[in-house]
Amino acid sequence: MKSTLNKIFTWSMVAFIVISVAILVWGFSVGFEYKDNLPVDVLLAWGYIMIGIALAAVIVVGLIVGAINNPKSLIKTGIVLVGVALIALLAYLVAPGTPAIGTDIESDASTLKLTDTILYLTYFAGIVAILSIVAGEIRLAISNRKA
């Protein structure tokens, strides 16, 4: 069973890479301004699809493997998912949704609110990543000093 799953994941990854390269080559060959920026729209849509597939795979496979190996881990996973949803909700509630300065592009209020939410989530993820790196290095330095 494990070998079959590895083959499925490997060939799926190869298929996604081939599709990605084909879309990219098509975009460069016709020019990215072709038919009112159609290649850019296709690339963005494909990127969203890839992110969705990756998120679904991580969550679904993580839940299945967690349930098989340790059924109690589902509670921890549920707590983490609720925590992430709360952080996203908090970012949405705090996001001002004000228009960008120095641009003439008109956007509706919901688009501006969503854009600000995504920016806040990106800032939060970057700060958490930097703090994790610093904390990991400090922990490593302390554990190496004791040895």
Question: Quick one: 81 and 147 in the same domain?
Answer: yes
Question: Quick one: 50 and 100 in the same domain?
Answer: no
What domain range includes position 12?
1-69
State residue 75's pLDDT score: 86
State residue 85's pLDDT score: 95
Residue ending a domain, among 13, 44, 69, is 69
State residue 21's pLDDT score: 92
Question: Quick one: 43 and 78 in the same domain?
Answer: no
CA distance 116 to 122: 10
Closest CA to 27 of 43, 16, 15: 43
Residue ending a domain, among 51, 69, 87, is 69
> Rounded to two decimals, what is the model's pTM?
0.60
State residue 95's pLDDT score: 94
Residue ending a domain, among 30, 52, 69, is 69
Q: What is the mean pLDDT of each run of 10 residues along the chain (147 residues)?
A: 79 92 88 83 90 87 81 84 95 90 82 92 96 96 80
State residue 123's pLDDT score: 96
Number of structural domains found in the chain? 2
